[in-house]
A and B are shown apart, each in its own frame.
Chain A
Amino acid sequence: MSALSLLVAKGISKRFGGVHALSEVTFTINHGEIYGLIGPNGAGKTSLFNVLTGIYAADGGNFIFDGEPLDRVKPNEVAERGIARTFQNIRLFQNLSALENVMIGRHVRTKAGVFGAMFRDKATRAEEAAIEKRSYELLGYVGVAKRANDLAKHLAYGDQRRLEIARALATEPKLLALDEPAAGMNATETQALKRLLQEIRRDGITILLIEHDMKLVMSVCDRVLVLDYGRKIAEGSAAEVQKDPKVIAAYLGGEVSLELKG
């Protein structure tokens, strides 16, 4: 565990009934990298996210995040510790405006309570103004500032994905975990997303990325972890993983020859 590593996962296991969704998955994510997590459907990628963010309790293994263990921590405490996530099937606050969605992301870094709300003292007013300002900045940052006052559910699909990223960034994460952010995006939108990911990384935030779009993964990720049937089958740079026969077999179903794909 070097000073470089932000997240260390050791032997993470998770079962659902008799199904081993995750078996002894071990990996390390370093500060400032974009770490890819790929695998065929049902490989356990989203389960890993859910265990990491405290939605499920792991059956075995443990995480060390930023030097401290992350055991039996509730989802909100995970966010407080500095891991923010998006969801595979977008989970915005549908009937609130885009801006309010991001403002809710600021919740965990602000502190006004009941009395602040009722009496609107100077500190609360200042905090509210700061929340609003920061939220606008983040909307601009991901490129949906024009839709600030629209309900989240009325945003275009790609905008919803980016809004979810803005909302996650509002929690000031050290690690941003994205679950298929490019799903449903066209080529132009994916290009924009790629630039956004690189910009987020440049701003010092580490990214964990689940993605099916291999072109995006290969062009943006520093290292990639490949899961299949809940097991880690490969880890390394994009180029290395791409050539790994086990990965090719997992993706193409073993019997199918590579020629067919071409």
Chain B
Amino acid sequence: MEILLQQIINGLTLGSVYALVALGYTMVYGIIGLINFAHGEVVMIGAMVSLSVITALVGAQTSLPVVVVILAGLFVAILVCMTIAYGMEKVAYRPLRKAPRLAPLITAIGMSIVLQNVALIVWGRNYRTFPTIIHPTPYDIFGATMTDLQMFIVALAALLMAALLFVVQRTRLGMAMRATAQNPQVAGLMGIDINVVISAAFVIGAALAAVAGLMVMTYYGIAHYYMGFLLGLKAFTAAVLGGIGNLAGAMLGGILLGIIEALGAGYIGDVSNLCGFPWLSDSLHEQCAANEGQVSMFGSNYQDVFAFFVLILVLIFRPSGLLGERVAERA
């Protein structure tokens, strides 16, 4: 029972990060129908920039409080990520808005490769570690532990998602975004500057990505030029799981994916333990004896498979994701 709760807590933390990143994918997809392949790299840049700023400040022996140091790192990361996303949209995607559907996908892939290698040049090939300036305190929750850092990540993610929903549902910009998502031509005719709306989607997504980058970096304590790839992939999976183009879907998908992964990693070894089936192979008996009755077909290294299996299952039964609109064929 404690293990279950623990896995859920861990999953919730990681899921919150997935959700923030997924929002960036889903906003851009909802408005211009593009899978922004480079979004994961924006998260990586966010992590790297904040890490550099924080390391520099710590190294400079300033007497600034830790919170200020981290906020400074976050602030610079957000600025950099927003600038990159804005520039990327303007240079690589905007000219292709009327091009064949797959053309901007390829430029997005190109941008992803470019950002990765720029990061490689700037930050090098090695793992960068987060200076030990925070010391997460564990709290007991019904036998499981949750650190204050985990709580902070979940709370901040929830706050940001609420803020985003407010912007999209209640402000003029949000209305313009929703209108553009429905029909860009008509929105344009109604006097909405579509370019501004699209840029806004990219920039807001990038800001969330920067926060997410900082979160994973502090949570795991390391950052790496290649980290954006798998994270982006998971977040995109989460966006699709929830129903791409749907904000609430991205949040639900992200958190669900995080929890599913954590549970999968926690239990898959037990579920696929082969020692209950000694007739499968002669050598199994000895292996089981040697490993305290635990020889699993699938270990926790199958964690990443889990996310995709769930995704495929969900999409088979709900082809538009959990909260996605059913798009009826029109004739």
Contacts and interface: CB of A to CB of B under 8 A. Distances in A.
Interface of A: 46, 49-50, 53, 55, 87, 91
Contacts, number: 8
Contacts of B329: 55
A50 B328 CA distance: 12
Contacts of A50: 331
A46 B331 CA distance: 8
A46 B330 CA distance: 10
Contacts of B331: 46, 49-50, 53, 55, 87, 91
A46 B329 CA distance: 13
Interface of B: 329, 331
**Which 3 A-B pairs give the minimum distances between C-beta atoms?**
A55-B331, A50-B331, A87-B331
> Which secondary structure dominates chain B's binding surface?
loop
B296 to A, nearest CB: 42
B203 to A, nearest CB: 35
8 contacts: A46-B331, A49-B331, A50-B331, A53-B331, A55-B329, A55-B331, A87-B331, A91-B331
Nearest to A87: B331
Nearest to B329: A55
A49 B330 CA distance: 12
A114 B329 CA distance: 29
A53 B331 CA distance: 10
A50 B330 CA distance: 9
A151 B199 CA distance: 35
B329 to A, nearest CB: 6
Contacts of A55: 329, 331
A5 to B, nearest CB: 25
Contacts of A87: 331
B153 to A, nearest CB: 41
A91 B331 CA distance: 9
Contacts of A91: 331
B327 to A, nearest CB: 14
Nearest to B100: A95
A87 B329 CA distance: 13
A53 B329 CA distance: 13
A66 to B, nearest CB: 22
A55 B329 CA distance: 8
A50 B329 CA distance: 10
A131 B4 CA distance: 64
B101 to A, nearest CB: 12
B328 to A, nearest CB: 8
Nearest to A55: B331
Contacts of A46: 331
A75 to B, nearest CB: 9
A158 to B, nearest CB: 21
A174 to B, nearest CB: 20
Nearest to A50: B331
